[in-house]
């Protein structure tokens, strides 16, 4: 489902070629300045029905729909951060969770 930007996740994949230089520039700026643009943090919260009575709020959980580019930038930042902490041996020796 599209996030608050209204752009389905298939659009960045389907239009990657013409936009790759622009996205690369934005991602590199974000990484070099250590900034995740505030506009990309805005999520659309949707209730998702689990089971039971649909009239009880306890039978729903929420999902956060983020802008499409936010997901791309987040993956790049996570990868960069993981490379950095691995390269500088920052991980605690017994840290196994959240490592890929």
pLDDT digits (tens, 9 = 90+) for 73-82: 999 999 998 8
Question: Does the pLDDT value for residue 98 go beyond 70?
Answer: no
Question: Does the pLDDT value for residue 99 go beyond 80?
Answer: no
Count of domains observed in the chain: 1
Q: What domain range is 17 assigned to? A: 10-40+67-87
45 inside domain: no
- Tell me: the pLDDT tens digits for 15-59? 888 888 998 999 999 999 989 999 999 999 999 999 999 999 999
Q: Give me the pLDDT at residue 92, please.
A: 73
1 inside domain: no
Question: Does the pLDDT value for residue 62 go beyond 90?
Answer: yes
pTM of the model: 0.72
Phi-psi region of 6 (alpha: psi -120 to 50; beta: other; left: phi over 0): left
């Amino acid at each position: 489902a599209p996030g608050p930007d209204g752009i389905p996740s298939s659009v960045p994949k389907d239009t990657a070629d013409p936009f790759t230089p622009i996205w690369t520039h934005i991602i590199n700026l974000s990484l070099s300045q250590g900034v995740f643009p505030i506009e990309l943090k805005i999520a659309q919260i949707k209730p998702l029905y689990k089971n039971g009575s649909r009239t009880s709020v306890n039978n729903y959980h929420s999902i956060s729909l983020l802008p499409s580019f936010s997901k791309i930038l987040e993956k790049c930042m996570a990868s960069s951060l993981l490379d950095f902490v691995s390269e500088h041996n920052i991980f605690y020796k017994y840290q196994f969770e959240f490592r890929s």
